[in-house]
A = this chain, B = another copy of it.
């Protein structure tokens, strides 16, 4: 009798359930629920309270509704007997965090706090806590906090304590009322199991925790704000559970929501990017996973601890138990091409695409693919959305160089792709220089499917083979795999994620290998890229910042 596991992937606008066959990872059924309140960034639901532009909140009811809608749907579509569903895993955007009562009730659900924005879930892309992030970084530097180096020297405004400190600064009554501060990932697992657990992935990547050193000291938190001194013990937990463990079994209530059996195993929560790694077949060192969409998230495992400049962070047990999981990122990839298509593609191209029955990206890809590397004479710096890799500087901006009166749209399109490939090579070289080898790439996300030219360029620029995960929904698959691990071997699942990955995860047959004559040209172009990267990115010419400063002065004048 076949056994099944379900992965639930909580995204920014919707949640998805995927039911897979535990034996071979076959994807049997999937269902998506679009959140009723989506991203709350203008006005609180059910009130007139307006939000500032950088805010982004969510409604925890949407998460519960995702369980209620999608799990019954996949059971129904597949016809699978709930008794054969042995485990459940979830992954979430992060850091997406919320203040709750000791029993798990979100503060925003209490009438008293319903109209207070700080009572709601702060979504990963809530960007209003930059002053708090600045304070966290400055204080850490003053106090020579060693943990700062694990995050490439800088904490993001998106992360857990930036958001926590913003609550304390702007709504001390919410901070006071919050008996628990928790990642939404852990909160939904709590709702399924009745157990409050804390996973090592979000704790490590988003809340400055490490397996060996724990959280930053109370002394450090006190220096940030005396009221924050005991935040870990008062509102969080020092018990952090490694990825791959079982969180608990489904409560009768959760069983009723979902149609699954009470007691069904539920895995410790995970992050959407990180959980994709084993689903992309990677459970060992040397193979970098790239999740390629609007941005790229780069993840690679290391067997040792290495300080790598400008990475997002590294966490022991953060991705796969027993390894240091290293994460880096590029902030502008698919977004870059979308910008170009919206703002820079001439009407004649739209006409040609229509006439030939192609999408505009397809048309551009076709024209760009007909060019040889270096043929356009163009070069770009991929900083349209700043640089969040080795330079970690949001104030850097995009550059295009080499334009002539003969320059065509497809040439610009191609060098924008090339520029993002150089950006990936910079990250790869930073890892390799600091002791974390990258022998090949395994790609997932939307881009690899859509743009073969891009994949070939990445192979040519990096000199590495690019493989592609077979699944189009690697996050949900990864969660289902962890669900099967939480169920354990006796129940028909697996002993470990390594075992699960062997049978449940697969790659596509088609791969992208570097073409030697392209590599030769790209090595030359990359040298020029690096020179411009360092000239504009490392302080020799701060014109990009100066222009932003002038812009800001002009706008208010």
Chain A residues proximal to chain B, CB less than 8 Å:
332, 335-336, 339, 342-347, 349-351, 372-379, 384-385, 397-405, 407-409, 517, 521, 524-525, 528, 531-532, 535-536, 541, 543-544, 546-548, 550-551, 553-555, 557
User: Would you call B400 and A403 a contact (CB within 8 A)?
Assistant: yes
User: Would you call A397 and B405 a contact (CB within 8 A)?
Assistant: no
Complex-state Cα separation, A547 to B398, whole angstroms: 18
User: Would you call B343 and A408 a contact (CB within 8 A)?
Assistant: yes
Residue contacts A-B, CB under 8 angstroms, 12 given: A339-B407, A343-B409, A347-B351, A374-B553, A375-B555, A384-B403, A385-B405, A397-B403, A399-B400, A402-B543, A517-B557, A521-B554
Complex-state Cα separation, A344 to B341, whole angstroms: 10
Complex-state Cα separation, A379 to B544, whole angstroms: 9
User: Would you call A343 and B407 a contact (CB within 8 A)?
Assistant: yes
User: Would you call A344 and B554 a contact (CB within 8 A)?
Assistant: no
Taking the nearest CB of chain B, how far is it from the CB of A536, in angstroms?
A: 8
- Given contact pairs A347-B351, A402-B548, a sample of 17 additional A-B residue pairs in the complex whose CB atoms are under 8 Å apart: A332-B405, A335-B405, A343-B408, A344-B409, A374-B551, A375-B555, A377-B550, A384-B404, A397-B403, A398-B401, A398-B402, A398-B403, A399-B403, A401-B547, A524-B546, A528-B546, A535-B535
Taking the nearest CB of chain B, how far is it from the CB of A182, in angstroms?
A: 32
Question: Are A547 and B402 also in contact (CB < 8 A) when A541-B531, A554-B373 are?
Answer: yes
Question: Which residue of the partner chain B has the closest CB to A341?
Answer: B346
Complex-state Cα separation, A346 to B346, whole angstroms: 5
Question: Which residue of the partner chain B has the closest CB to A345?
Answer: B346
Complex-state Cα separation, A339 to B346, whole angstroms: 11
Copies of this polypeptide in the complex: 2
User: Would you call B405 and A544 a contact (CB within 8 A)?
Assistant: no
Contacts of A544 in B (CB 8 A): 401-402
Contacts of A409 in B (CB 8 A): 343-344
Contacts of A376 in B (CB 8 A): 551
Question: Are A401 and B397 also in contact (CB < 8 A) when A377-B548, A554-B373 are?
Answer: yes
Contacts of A375 in B (CB 8 A): 551, 554-555
Q: Pick from B336, B373, B404, B547: contact of A528, CB below 8 A.
A: B547
User: Would you call A524 and B541 a contact (CB within 8 A)?
Assistant: no
Question: Are A550 and B521 also in contact (CB < 8 A) when A346-B347, A401-B399, A405-B385 are?
Answer: yes
Taking the nearest CB of chain B, how far is it from the CB of A522, in angstroms?
A: 10
Taking the nearest CB of chain B, how far is it from the CB of A255, in angstroms?
A: 45
Complex-state Cα separation, A190 to B550, whole angstroms: 59
8 nearest A-B pairs in the assembled complex, by CB-CB distance:
A398-B403, A347-B347, A377-B551, A347-B350, A374-B554, A374-B550, A397-B402, A377-B547
Contacts of A536 in B (CB 8 A): 401
Contacts of A546 in B (CB 8 A): 524, 528
Which of A350, A403, A544 is the most central at the interface, judged by chain B CB atoms within 10 Å of its CB? Answer: A403
Complex-state Cα separation, A536 to B403, whole angstroms: 14
Complex-state Cα separation, A557 to B332, whole angstroms: 33
User: Would you call A554 and B372 a contact (CB within 8 A)?
Assistant: yes
Q: Pick from B384, B402, B532, B550: contact of A525, CB below 8 A.
A: B550
Contacts of A557 in B (CB 8 A): 372, 517
Contacts of A350 in B (CB 8 A): 347
Complex-state Cα separation, A344 to B411, whole angstroms: 12
Complex-state Cα separation, A554 to B376, whole angstroms: 10
Complex-state Cα separation, A523 to B185, whole angstroms: 52
Contacts of A543 in B (CB 8 A): 379, 401-402, 528, 531-532
Contacts of A343 in B (CB 8 A): 346, 407-409
Contacts of A535 in B (CB 8 A): 535, 541
Complex-state Cα separation, A407 to B551, whole angstroms: 13
Question: Which residue of the partner chain B has the closest CB to A397?
Answer: B402
Contacts of A528 in B (CB 8 A): 543, 546-547
Question: Which residue of the partner chain B has the closest CB to A375?
Answer: B554
Question: Which residue of the partner chain B has the closest CB to A544?
Answer: B402
Question: Which residue of the partner chain B has the closest CB to A378?
Answer: B547
Question: Which residue of the partner chain B has the closest CB to A407?
Answer: B343
Contacts of A332 in B (CB 8 A): 405
Taking the nearest CB of chain B, how far is it from the CB of A395, in angstroms?
A: 10
Question: Which residue of the partner chain B has the closest CB to A540?
Answer: B535
Question: Are A404 and B408 also in contact (CB < 8 A) when A346-B345, A554-B375 are?
Answer: no
Complex-state Cα separation, A403 to B409, whole angstroms: 16
